A and B are shown apart, each in its own frame.
Chain A
Amino acid sequence: MFAASLETASEPRKLRRVAIDPVTRVEGHGKVTILLDEANKVHQVRLHIVEVRGFEKFIEGRPYWEVPVSVQRLCGICPVSHHLAAAKAMDQIAGYDLLTPTAEKLRRLMHYGQMVQSHAVHFYHLASPDLLLGFDSEPTRRNIVGVLEDFPQIATEGVLVRRFGQEVIRATAGKRVHGTGAVPGGMNKALSRDDREMLRADVDQVIDWTVGAIRMVERLHETKPAFYNHFGEVAGNMLGLVNASGAADYYNGTLRARDAAGTIIFDRVKDASYRDVLEEEVKSWSYMKFPHIKAIGSEEGWYRVGPLARIQVCDLLTSERAEAERQRLLAVGGGKPLHGTLFYHWARLVELLHAAELIRNLLDDPTICATDLMADKGERRFHAVGVIEAPRGTLFHEYKVGEDDLVTYCNLIVSTTNNNQAMNEAIRKVAVQYLDGHEITEPLLNHIEVAIRAYDPCLSCATHALGLMPLQVELVDADGIVLSDVRRGMDGGVSCSVPG
């Protein structure tokens, strides 16, 4: 595969290095390095995540009931996803098998509110400047303020759609960001009738605005279909959660993976068994791990998650208008799966519509304001996995908790980590499509950023294995000669070698 050949150049010392640092309009801090020869031929492209978090380590030694609140501080954009994934795991740890019907509905309501606000901030605030103003527009105007000046209606709708999602979160979690709604075994607050009425009054408008945004993206696609179809297009496997009927389920469900042609690789894999089908690999040049499908292997087993994967992994969306929009999008592929990077935006808006419709349905549920919030407690457990579909893709939380209630082990595979290889593949494809052989300019480099941005990466969430990850440190002299090489392996053992 050509992309794999661009991971590591054979003679990097002879090449010119171009860096995009930092990658802008994404959550977190990352950079891209590109190695070019004298003819501007691309030899190496890498997305680096250059910050280190440490949440897996911070959580060790803390009481399990604290984790759903503390771990959500990983992120300021989709904290609800971490909150709920951890709560799902801690339900099991505390001995709760099934939530009360109301508690599950309220968690879903919170989650769909998160989906609306996160997808809105990504599409309107971060991505729409590229799509509406142009990849090569003036960089100082290529932002939400520029959109507000040129397309005030779209920008205003974006702000209000996001606000609606945040209000749903506030009504269920107590705060717009970093609330405390989910507790092991249920929820700590019921939905007030005032909040229900307020949200119900606004949701239909949000649905209509979202359909309008989908139409806008569709029209953009019609202007340059070949460009939108093939920009950063790399065929890959896809992963997501589906329910027993095969419909997409953002809160519960079992794991399903399809290959690039749409054929199912595995299905109905329980979330607790994720290690049976997935494994992680570490590369010396990135703090972010590289997960892949175990049965296929690290070379070809990478997969994408998130909107574009989810709408193709599932058999349907359960809300009427969103399913119709999903079918409209899939029709572009003519029966074949879509792998163009820019389709992420279209798929994201279809999901935003789906989440808004699910919110409306829950608000219309006559029992949504009920107060049966805590389930009956069963047998305490010591190991649990919580999996959820975060806005950016499948999110895994795994914990072990001791007899004394303190966490002894934590493993987080966040959505962006799942998309690590997919993003690297996409930017290598874009580099070959648009940079290879050209004089490098800012607009061309923005093409690379556009590809990363389409995945809506949360780079700060994705690096968290402080003290655990294998690392390689090379001491290199001015001529690029490796003087010494220190490595820490998967077992924590350290070895040092001095090349002869």
Chain B
Amino acid sequence: MSIRNSFTIDGERVDFEPGQSILQAALAAGVFIPHLCFHPEFSAHGSCKLCTVVVNGRNGSACTIAAMPGQEVRSDTPELNQRRRMLLQMLFVEGNHFCPGCEKSGNCKLQAMAYELEMFNDHFQHFFPDRGPVDASHPEVMLDRNRCIQCELCVRASRDIDGKEVFSLAGRGPASHLVVNAASGLLGDTPFAATDKAAEVCPVGAIMVKRVGFTAPIGRRKYDGASIRDQIEHPAPAQEG
């Protein structure tokens, strides 16, 4: 590792491989930067803005800014964390995220991130969106659009890993919503399978494998024992170029 390929996050030196983003380099070095729409196996999306950091005095998404030698990055600051909390609050009120009755509770990244960033209330007025009823037409998987945070992880997984292009976002602004690639609009009429990568990447309870429910007891769910900060998913090796 060349001494030139390093930068600092909150004063701590982080080495990087050429081609890595700030977020990839930070996670590889075990430095946590909050994020939701980033996944180590897919190309960066830059939409949730939770990984916003200050790079040499300017705001930017850590998942889309290439790591460069000598960068001075600020991340874990009261100001940035306050803005991240506000982003989470907006995500919570934009959808129907009712943790007490949701089977994703304890395994949900949105919920885990809210705990991590100490979001204690919703603050904003709820939208109570009606993006249609639960789509349970598929025999193995159900789709609850009202819980979707539009991170497009399923879109990328279906397109880039599964090679099926089952999901896409449609509509604009507040009317944006997840659609499936079938004339009927029903998941059951797509080639989607419960074994697809897209069935496992949803960070919230929008795409759920059926009949799993609450089989994981309280205490043994993913984020019961350790915070999301302590469970960093290791990023894929950086691509050259």
Report A's interface with B, CB cutoff 8 A: 61-63, 65-66, 68-70, 73, 94, 173-175, 178-181, 183-184, 188-189, 404-406
Q: Is B11 among interface residues, defined by CB-CB distance under 8 A?
A: no
Return the chain B residue nearest A63 by Cβ: B142
* B-side contacts of A70, CB under 8 Å: 100-101
Task: Tell me which residues across on chain B come within 8 A of A65, comparing CB atoms.
Answer: 103, 210-214
Cα A174 to Cα B214 in complex, Å, equals 11
Given contacts A178-B100, A179-B218, contact A61 B134 (CB under 8 A): yes
Pull 24 A–B residue pairs with CB atoms less than 8 Å apart, ordered by A.
Answer: A61-B133, A61-B134, A62-B134, A63-B142, A63-B210, A65-B210, A65-B212, A68-B214, A69-B100, A69-B214, A94-B211, A174-B217, A174-B218, A174-B219, A180-B218, A181-B217, A183-B214, A188-B214, A188-B215, A188-B217, A189-B217, A189-B220, A405-B210, A406-B134
A405 to B208, CA, bound (A): 13
Interchain nearest-CB distance for A166 vs B (Å): 14
* A180–B213 CA distance with the chains assembled, in angstroms: 10
16 extra interchain contacts, Cβ-Cβ under 8 A, other than A183-B214, A405-B211? A63-B142, A63-B213, A65-B210, A65-B212, A65-B214, A66-B102, A69-B100, A69-B213, A70-B100, A94-B211, A173-B218, A174-B218, A179-B218, A180-B218, A181-B217, A184-B213
Q: Are B103 and A66 in contact (CB under 8 A)?
A: yes
- Which residues of chain B from 190 to 241 have any CB-CB distance to chain A below 8 Å in the complex? 210-220
- Closest chain A residue to B210, Cβ basis: A405
Instruction: Give chain B's interface residues, CB within 8 Å of chain A.
Output: 100-103, 133-134, 136-137, 142, 210-220
| A62 to B147 alpha-carbon distance, docked (Å) | 13
Query: What's the Cα separation between A178 and B99 when bound, in Å?
Result: 12
Q: Which of A61, A63, A189 has the most CB of B within 10 A?
A: A63
Distance, CA A404 to CA B211, complexed state (A): 11
User: Which residue from chain A places its CB closest to the CB of B219 in the assembled complex?
Assistant: A174
- Chain B, residue nearest A170 (CB): B218
State A187–B197 Cα separation when bound (angstroms): 29
Q: Are A175 and B218 in contact, CB atoms less than 8 angstroms apart? A: yes
B218 touches A404 (CB 8 A): no
CB-based contact B136/A63 at 8 Å: yes
CB A183 to nearest CB in B, in angstroms, measures 5
Which 8 residue pairs are nearest across A and B when measured between Cβ atoms?
A174-B218, A70-B101, A65-B213, A189-B217, A404-B136, A180-B214, A188-B217, A406-B136
Query: In angstroms, how far is the closest chain A Cβ from the Cβ of B63?
Result: 33
Residues of A within 8 A of B100 (CB): 69-70, 73, 178
**Across the interface, which residues of A come within 8 angstroms of B210, CB to CB?**
63, 65, 405
- Min CB gap B128→A, angstroms: 12
Residues of B within 8 A of A405 (CB): 136, 142, 210-211
A26 to B137, CA, bound (A): 43
Tell me, in angstroms, the Cα distance from A405 to B139 when the chains sit together.
9
Residues of B within 8 A of A174 (CB): 217-219
Asked if residues B134 and A180 are in contact (CB atoms below 8 Å), the reply is: no
Complex CA distance for A63 and B212, rounded to whole angstroms: 11
- Measured CA separation A178–B213 after assembly (Å): 15
In the complex, how many angstroms separate the beta carbon of A354 from the nearest chain B beta carbon? Answer: 28
A417 vs B123: C-alpha distance when bound (angstroms): 36
When the two chains form the complex, which single residue of B133, B136, B213 contacts A183, counting CB atoms closer than 8 Å? B213
Q: Complex formed: what's the CA distance from A466 to B54 in Å? A: 50
Q: State the Cβ distance, B22 to closest chain A Cβ, in Å.
A: 39
Residues of B within 8 A of A189 (CB): 217-220
The interface residues of chain A lying within 8 Å CB-to-CB of B133 are 61
Nearest to A60 among chain B residues (CB) is B133
Complex-state Cα separation, A406 to B218, whole angstroms:
24
From known contacts A174-B218, A178-B100, infer whether A66 and B136 are also in contact, taking CB-CB under 8 Å.
Answer: no
Assembled-state Cα–Cα distance A65/B205 (Å)? 14
Chain A residue nearest to B101 (CB atoms) is A70
Cβ of B19 to closest chain A Cβ, rounded Å: 43
Compute how far the CA of A11 lies from the CA of B90 in the bound complex, rounded to whole angstroms: 55
Query: B102: which A residues are within 8 A, CB to CB?
Result: 66
Alpha-carbon gap, A181 to B213, bound state (A)? 11
Residue ID in chain B nearest A186 by CB atoms = B215
- On whether the beta carbons of A66 and B101 are closer than 8 Å, the reply is yes
Inter-subunit contact A183/B215 (CB<8 Å):
yes
Nearest CB in chain A: distance from B186 CB, A: 10
Most buried by A among B101, B133, B210: B101
Contacts of B219 in A (CB 8 A): 174, 189
A175 to B134, CA, bound (A): 28
A37 to chain B, nearest CB (A): 48
Contacts of A173 in B (CB 8 A): 218
Contact of B217 among A94, A180, A406 (CB under 8 A): A180
Cβ distance B211 to chain A, nearest Cβ, rounded Å: 6
